[in-house]
Amino acid sequence: MNSKKVKISEVKVNPNNPRLIKDDKFNKLVKSIQEFPQMLDIRPIVVNSDMIVLGGNMRLKACQEAGLKEVPIIIADNLSVEQQREFLIKDNVSGGEWDWEILANEWDAELLEDWGLDLKFPQDDSEDEPEEEKTYIPTYRFEVSCNTEKEKNKLMAELMQKGYSCTDDY
């Protein structure tokens, strides 16, 4: 599949997209697009044959906010309706976890936050502890077994709505 540029007005936001980016994160996405528009060429918006977004709803909205007249797209016209619905979710599921130690030691925290990464620093009130000795909030993992896929999906949705990161790696 090749990407092409089209008028932004031709691309339609998907009303069934369950993922949102609000407030500060959305503003950071707009800023990111303004400062690094080439990123859109590398990761175009994916649409179906009706020009409805399957992947990139928030990028499209951010492009509109940034005042872009054209956006790169990929038309995924070979997907069934069910595959389109699946793509809509799978494109938005975050996989993996951040290695906080590498981020802390090898990346600029302010730059990472500007790019939209939520850094999880500890709430440490001790002023006398040197900066390099402060630790980051650990991430805990646990496994849950469900009897049906429907039950698993419902539980994952509830947890994600509460701000937890979920994966269904087997």
Q: Are 21 and 29 in contact (CB under 8 A)?
A: yes
- Which residues lie below 8 Å from residue 123, measured CB to CB, with a gap of 6+? none
117 — pLDDT class (breaks 50, 70, 90):
confident
DSSP string, 71-87: EEEEE-TT--HHHHHHH
Domain range summary for the chain, segments of one domain joined by +: 4-90, 96-137, 140-170
Per-residue pLDDT of 99-111, as tens digits, reads: 777 777 877 888 7
Per-residue pLDDT of 31-58, as tens digits, reads: 999 999 999 999 999 999 999 999 999 9
In Å, what is the CA distance from 20 to each residue of 44, 45, 59, 146? 18, 16, 11, 27
This prediction's pTM: 0.61
Topology of 4-90 in CATH?
3.90.1530
Q: Give the per-residue pLDDT at 124.
A: 45
Structure tokens at 170: 């087997």
